[in-house]
Amino acid sequence: MTADTPATGGHDAQPTIAVIGEALVDIVAGVAHPGGSPMNVAVGLARLGEPTILHTLIGADEHGELIRAHLTAAGVALGAESVGGSRTWSAWATLDDAGSATYDFDLDGHIPVPELQGLRLVHTGSIGALRDGEADRVRTAFAGADGETMLSFDPNIRAAVMGEQARERTFALAASCQVVKLSDEDAQWLRPDAPLEDVLAEFAAAGVRFAVITRGARGCIARVDDVVHHRAARATTVADTIGAGDAFMSGLLFGLLRDRTDRALVTGAPITADAVAAALDCALASAAITVSRTGANPPSAAELTAALDARN
């Protein structure tokens, strides 16, 4: 199936965005919640009004139905090859006193990777981009994508299921992407003890035009066309951090699409400092809303607009 094949659920409009990667259930205190970094990004984009299709793998089981209902409610189309005979992936989450989560994973089967043609944006990340069984196929698909498509990647490192080879795979996949977002924890794992600006410089050397590292309550640092930008986080009361990085990612991509900065990234046109600031502010506002409530719960378009208007 190609990435623009009609699929079940989602917006009435033909999807212009495809996301490839895991949809799973986060099990917190014995309760299952729809999760998975790529799925959270797909939901975030769809809630912001972007027609989005998710290529993933869920089982024909209770957890799979929970995910399917979550995607339908958000307006995300589900790729036609995304329901298989395997059981739905799960991640058992443990929260520390600060609300940060660690995970133990149960993963069964492999995510299908479609052709990438006729799309404005394709995003991938985490287990579904870097694990054995998916990594080579995702990298091949990205390398052969339509030249008009902006490609985005969030490594969201899960070393226990990706292995040490995730370092090499991260930079190999990034070489096809205009946009890469990672956390400071990802950066530390990829390049132990290296300053964040050095890690960004390495992604820039691989060909990434817009590379950004999130720093939790300290905001983010980005490198765009060899210029480094710092943006402060928004003040908020943290309920938990589940889905915070994914909400930052969907907010960032939405900001780039909204202002057509994605077209400049694809064509090689210059990116202004104002365009960078606008995209990062959109990402930070999206993350701030999400951490203020429990679970991976990214904002609607109205919520994000209100937050941005209040800041301005």
CA 235 to CA 229: how far, in whole Å? 19
Q: Which of 99-103, 192-196, 245-249, 297-301 has the lowest mean pLDDT?
A: 99-103
Token pair recorded at residue 124: 């991938």
Decide which of 3.40.1190.20, 3.60.20.10, 2.60.40.1180, 3.40.50.880 is the CATH code for 17-311: 3.40.1190.20
In this structure, what are the phi and psi dihedrals at residue 152, rounded to the nearest 5 degrees? -130, 150
Q: Is the pLDDT of residue 271 over 60?
A: yes
- As a whole number, mean pLDDT of residues 194-216 equals 97
What percent of the chain lies above the pLDDT cut of 70? 95
Closest CA to 284 of 235, 241, 237, 239: 235
**Spatial CB neighbours of 13, under 8 Å, sequence gap ≥ 6:** 51
CA 305 to CA 312: how far, in whole Å? 11
The structure's pTM equals 0.92
Helix (H, G, I), strand (E, B) or coil at 226: coil
In this structure, what are the phi and psi dihedrals at residue 278, rounded to the nearest 5 degrees? -65, -45
Which one is predicted more confidently, 91 or 65?
Answer: 65
Interval 87-141: pLDDT, tens: 999 988 777 777 676 778 999 899 999 989 999 999 999 999 999 989 999 999 9
CA 204 to CA 223: how far, in whole Å? 8
pLDDT (0 to 100) of residue 24: 95
Closest CA to 100 of 245, 272, 301, 263: 245
End-to-end Cα, the chain, rounded Å = 44
- As a whole number, mean pLDDT of residues 191-207 equals 97
pLDDT (0 to 100) of residue 12: 58
pLDDT (0 to 100) of residue 10: 46
| Residue written as token pair 């190609």 | 2
Interval 7-52: pLDDT, tens: 334 455 788 999 999 999 988 788 898 999 999 999 999 999 999 9
The DSSP 8-state label assigned to residue 183 in this structure reads E
Q: C-alpha dihedral over 283, 240, 41, 163, to 10 degrees?
A: 110
The DSSP 8-state label assigned to residue 149 in this structure reads S
CA geometry: angle at 71 spanning 38 and 128, to 5°?
A: 25
pLDDT (0 to 100) of residue 243: 87
- As a whole number, mean pLDDT of residues 178-184 equals 98
Helix (H, G, I), strand (E, B) or coil at 114: coil
Distances (CA, A) of 36 to 82, 103, 122, 154: 14, 11, 17, 12
pLDDT (0 to 100) of residue 89: 95
pLDDT (0 to 100) of residue 7: 39
